[in-house]
Amino acid sequence: MQSTLTGGADAIVLTGWRQAREAYRSKDLRQAMYDEGAVIMKDCLLVLHGEAHRRRRRVENRLFRRETFAHWERHVLGDTLEAVLAPDVAAGRADLRALGYRAAISLTATIAGVDHDPANTEHTSRLEDVVRTFSAGATLAHSTRDPDEVRAEVRAQLEAFRSEMLSASLDRRRALLQRLADGEMAEDDLPRDVATLLLRHQQALEIPLEVVEREICFYLQAGAHSTADAYTHALDELFRRAESHPEDLARAADDLAFAQRCVHESLRLNPASPVAWREPLRTLSLRDGTVLPRGSRVVIDLATVNRDPEVWGSDAGVFDPHRAVPEGANAWGLSFGAGAHACIGAELDGGMEILDDGPPDDDHLHGTVAVMVTATLAAGGRPDPDDPPVQDPNTKRPHFSSYPIVFPEPQE
């Protein structure tokens, strides 16, 4: 792995499963990955630490609950996918990366609190531009571009986004909150999104409007970016496995629980960020004796940790959706983190973990990515044999910039 990903020559790199899990759970290690991306990430939930993080997380946990995830997966995602997939299926071709972004953006706009119609292709395209710029700013530490140039683009995009979409969305939610206060509407009729939640608790959290706006932008870009990335990688893994196991590709097209297993295995091998950076607030030692000096850079090398042969076996680097999950581990490894900063939307993207004692219950959540994967395969999506996928040249993270696929012609 390149030194820029692993924090430079002076970084302390953790590559073992037990080391990583202990580091994630330490209250003395603060998030340090997004310091470079402060232009869009400053004071967002992901970078807060200690009491400030606990207060914000307690409020936002009211939204990120299982029943809300169920509402989004069962009542929002289906309509979104239908609107997004239909034009590409009719055209007979698509780009997985772009398709994943369009589907994810429509859902994360709903979650973040940005008013959006997924059938409005022009509006969706504009949101894509916004999200790509914000994502470039958030992951600036791994960018191959001039940092100041990226920051300038983010500031300009934020101002445009505010005037084109964000301010109007916030004004509508303020009006709804006033109607609730006046007894003109019921609590259950409020939008289920981050914007409404933060506006309602803004005074209690003591956060200015600019922080509310950045938090909305964080959820918009992080959700869309990570979901589109997980979707593309999962299908890529399935397509490559189909060369020797075509039955798994066919099964994932109509068995949502199996598609979820495929997504979990892909998430293990392809975490949204291949590394996590931490900074010790005091000098501390891990159980294996590794010393982490105060102020040093600690890098959790997820791409290696999730392939630890002591946990996952000698074939740890092989994509195998039939793999037995080791005791004490999750099927996705540590890709959703652990401890206080574990991903707040893990069940939304990955669903509820599947137990090995039988098929999922009727109320089981399969996760956004599995639903997207199954929908794409069921529509006949397959790699374009004449146009191979391309890695993104603007980041050192292992992301695709394009992944062409084709759909079969409709039957008469």
Min mean pLDDT across 247-261, 311-325, 333-347, 387-401 is at 387-401
> How wide is the angle at C-alpha 263 spanned by C-alphas 261 and 269, nearest 5°?
110
Q: Which two tokens stand for residue 279?
A: 């900074």
16-52 pLDDT, tens per residue? 999 999 999 999 999 988 888 899 999 999 999 999 9
Decide if pLDDT at 358 tops 60. Answer: no
Cα of first residue to Cα of last residue in the chain, in angstroms, is: 50
* Mean pLDDT score across all residues of the chain: 91
pLDDT bucket at 200, cuts 50 / 70 / 90: very high
Helices and strands of the chain, counted as H and E runs:
17, 11
CA distance 31 to 24: 10
pLDDT bucket at 412, cuts 50 / 70 / 90: low
CA 347 from centre of chain: 11
Report CA-CA distances (Å) from 369 to 100, 106, 110, 234: 9, 13, 16, 8
CA 337 from centre of chain: 12
- Write the secondary structure of 239-302 as one string of H (helix), E (strand) and C (coil): HHHCCCCHHHHHHHCCCHHHHHHHHHHHHHHCCCCCEEEEEECCCEECCCCCEECCCCCEEEEH
Taking a C-beta distance cutoff of 8 angstroms, is the pair 62, 88 a contact?
no
CA distance 405 to 388: 9
Query: Is the pLDDT higher at 410 or at 372?
Result: 372
pTM of the model: 0.90
CA distance 10 to 13: 9
The one-letter amino acid at 341:
H
All domains of the chain, ordered by start, with CATH?
12-388 (1.10.630.10)
At residue 3, the 3 state secondary structure works out as coil
333-350 pLDDT, tens per residue? 999 999 888 888 899 899
Q: Which two tokens stand for residue 64?
A: 């990120």
pLDDT at residue 396, rounded to an integer: 67
391 - beta bridge partners? Answer: 400
360-382 pLDDT, tens per residue? 677 899 999 999 999 999 999 99
The one-letter amino acid at 287:
R
CA distance 268 to 266: 5
pLDDT at residue 133, rounded to an integer: 94
Q: What is the mean pLDDT of residues 149-172?
A: 96
Residues in Cβ contact with 184 at an 8 Å cutoff, skipping those fewer than 6 apart: none
Taking a C-beta distance cutoff of 8 angstroms, is the pair 94, 235 a contact?
no
pLDDT at residue 357, rounded to an integer: 57
For 398-407, give one letter per residue: b (16+ CB within 10 A) or e.
ebbeebbbbb
56-91 pLDDT, tens per residue? 999 999 988 888 888 888 888 888 898 889 999 999
